[in-house]
Amino acid sequence: MINATATLFDRATMGFSLSVHIVLAVIGIVLPVIILLAEYLGIRYRDNHYIVLARRLSIAFVVMFAVGTASGMLVATELLFLWPQFMALMSAVAIAPLYLEVFAFFMESIFVALYIYSAHAFRERYIHVAIMVVVALGAVLSGVLITMLNSYMNTPVGFNIPVYLQTGNLTDINPIAVFTAPAASIEVPHVVATSYFAGACIFLAYFSFMLLRTKDDRVKQYYKKAIKLAFAIAAIGLVFSLITGVLSIESLFHLQPEKYAAIELNLQPQTNAPEVLGGIYANNSIEYGIAIPGLQSVLANGSASTNVPGLSQYPQSTWPPLFVHDMFDLMVGLGFLIGIFFAFVLLMALMKRNVLDSRKMLWLFIVVGVFATLLLENGWMVDEFGRQPWIIYNVMLVSQAANQSSSIIPIAVLLILVYIFIIPFTLYVLKKIFERRPLTDEL
Amino acid sequence: MDILILINQVIFSILLSLLLLELGSALLSLADYEKYKERLTSYIAPTWEITGTFSVFYLVNFEATFPSLLPAIGTMYILPVLVAVTFVIVRDAFLAYTEYIGTEKDEKRFARVYGISTIAMMIIITTILSSTISGIGVNLSSLSLNPLIVLNPYNLLMILSLLAFVAFAAIVFFNIEKRSLLFISIIVAFALILFASAAFTPFMLQSLATNPLVVLPSMLLLVAIIVLYWLRKTYAKFLVLPWLFCSVLAFQLIEYPSLFSNSIQISSYITSQASAPYVLIITLAGGAFLAVALSLFVYVHHVHKEEKFHEHEY
């Protein structure tokens, strides 16, 4: 009983920490790009609005970076202390990406300090921009390397798995095979694209909210430029997210058929499989779903004759929770809704309509920011729940990896309380910082 | 000694040296923030992130070097480690708030929270480390800890000796006008650590007796620091970090290869022969990159007078 409770708290603690951390992480990935583009545009076109934008965002970046890196450190620590058996295996066979990520992290933190404290040091101002390019590279490289570990958990390679399952001994270890984990080829670009998209949407929402609140014309111009910058990054991110998203389905079909079957709610393998929208699994059948004939087979492998996998091919004890299907549908639905909205905004812009003068459009940008954050969390949950009950697919169960110490219970409560306090308090402090540095004084 | 173990101990020694200096800064920020503010921020503001990143460096290097030790360490130390990391979150956040909040009242309040959380974090870290040396409060068969891990004389002596070491280091590094405390703090530090070792971990003294040369570099640096400081030379502060590093490393080497009062020989937990070359290559390549990046940082930061980007006029 204690073991099951401890495992539940391990899951809850890790899940809560990661759900907070991925939002901070995507902010950490996109913010350097916004800052460097703003500074570049400011220097290139001698536009003070962009320089002020870079300056003010650099303050926000340092404060968010502080909380984000601490949160990253917490997640790294939790990996070992919540899942000691998992980390023992990973450290023996697949530690390389996590280890390299430390140096990407160093690259980021050293160059952030350099950026903040060295504006005066370079006569060539583009060098200052270049320093932020290194920060941006460090941030995205961290994301790439961590996603490689996640891909490895989905499609493990690099040691003799049958021998390990039989004897518990690690043999035929190839520590760099982790870089070639099959799922990485599509999971990595998808995570990168969605990170830029979701992160930029968060700032799109923030800038739109600030534009709605202001009456000063100079401040309005400032926020309009900021919105255009964030929208451009979000739009590029969205295009790549859609492309890689479609390819992800194909990749799941080939590489993770059990997860695929759960996501598509396929009970039986079949050809000419319908795409089921919505629906739930009850009484050994799918109820309330809307079926589009043949579409699933076409999406999976380009042909209606494709035979898609079904859950009946796997023992029911290893089925992922089937609500992943509805979470997946929600993700795809929201993604396409945002895609249509972005296409509409671009069309309006091409027709020279001034979208940013419409308060309704600004409110819609805020809604997009909220939806994009939901998409981000939802996508991560589909990936993680879709692998359950495994922590490393077909190698180690979550329950085998978990720390069974009952000490986790008070710690889980403490960590959740700290996060509940620190994130709103950070936003409050940022608000106070910017209130004391009025934008009108800087423009 | 295996090269991977030596590297792990070097990384740990750098990390602990950085943390000890930060403990000094935290103590001073609580003692009189307004008085020491400039001296503290000129060091802490640009380096605290790097110190934090070093802790992740050590953690992952430890994981890569001793994978088979992880289930035991992870299961036993979950409570103190995660509590310590909670304080790290608070430390990071409040340090950043302090730097940018812009009003003296809030700045002082936030600096106090930073100071308290850093001290709490360091007390927990010291407790964990002292338990890995003495084994007191640790049950290796059930992989559990008991309250004795905190409430034992060895741990309390180690915490006090560390505070005395930090007092000495902070006086020199932050150029504090308390010269009378200089000798007292370092003598107290050595007296406490010798007493603790003699009473609870005599194997450490035996190890020192067989290899006394390991402490020589730290002793030479200590003498150099005292002489330079007494001559009112500002160069003394530059020796503080190397001295802390040599002292921690020497302590580590004296302890090697045992953990938990000789219950575990750490060398038997080293990673497989297949993984070891890759761990070594990544460490060396990453270390080289780190050295270059830090040199660039130190050059830019110290050669040019510091000025924050948001205060800079184009």
- Over the stretch A117-131, which tens digit does the pLDDT of each residue have? 777 677 678 888 999
Say how far apart CA B122 and CA B20 lie, in whole Å: 8
Contacts of B55 in chain A (CB under 8 A): 73
Q: Which residue of B has its CA nearest to A54?
A: B310
Q: Compute the nearest-CA separation of B99 from chain A (Å).
A: 9
Q: Which residues of A touch B56 (CB under 8 A)?
A: 72-73, 76, 102, 105
What is the pLDDT confidence band of residue A1, given thresholds at 50, 70 and 90? low
Determine the distance in angstroms separating the CA of A372 from the nearest CA of chain B, rounded to an integer: 26
User: What interface predicted TM-score (ipTM) does this complex get?
Assistant: 0.87
Residues of B in contact with A404 (CB under 8 A): 75
**How confident is the model at residue A118, as a pLDDT?**
74
Query: Which residues in chain B (101-130) have CB-CB distances under 8 A to chain A?
Result: 101-103, 106
- Closest residue by Cα to residue A266 from A313, A306, A333, A207: A313
The predicted model scores a pTM of 0.89
Asked if the model's pLDDT at residue A378 lies above 70, the reply is: yes
Mean pLDDT of chain A: 91
Query: Which residues of chain A lie closer than 8 angstroms to B102, CB-CB?
Result: 433, 436-437
Answer whether A99 sits within 8 Å of B52, measured CB to CB.
no
Please compute the mean of the pLDDT values over residues B268-276 and round it to a whole number. 91
Tell me the shortest Cα–Cα distance from B124 to chain A, in angstroms.
Answer: 14
Position A442 confidence tier, pLDDT thresholds 50, 70, 90: confident
Q: From the CB of residue A158, how many other CB atoms can be counted at a distance below 10 Å?
A: 22
Q: Does B67 touch chain A (CB under 8 A)?
A: yes
Per the CB < 8 Å rule, is A411 touching B67?
Answer: no
In this predicted structure, the answer to whether residue A433 has a pLDDT above a threshold of 80 is: yes
- Tell me the count of A-B CB pairs closer than 8 A: 247
Closest residue of chain A to B86, computed from CA coordinates: A415
B-proximal residues of A, 291-330, CB under 8 Å: none
| Interchain contact B292–A (C-beta under 8 A) | no
Please give the residue of chain B at the shortest CA–CA distance from A114: B297
Chain B residues with beta carbon closer than 8 angstroms to that of A55? 309-310
Interchain CB contact of A12 with B (< 8 Å): no
Q: What is the pLDDT of residues A153-185, one digit of tens each?
A: 999 999 999 999 999 999 999 999 999 999 999
The model's confidence at residue B230, banded by pLDDT at 50, 70 and 90, is: confident
- Nearest residue to A150 via CA among A393, A335, A323: A393
- A51 to chain B, any CB pair closer than 8 A? The answer is yes
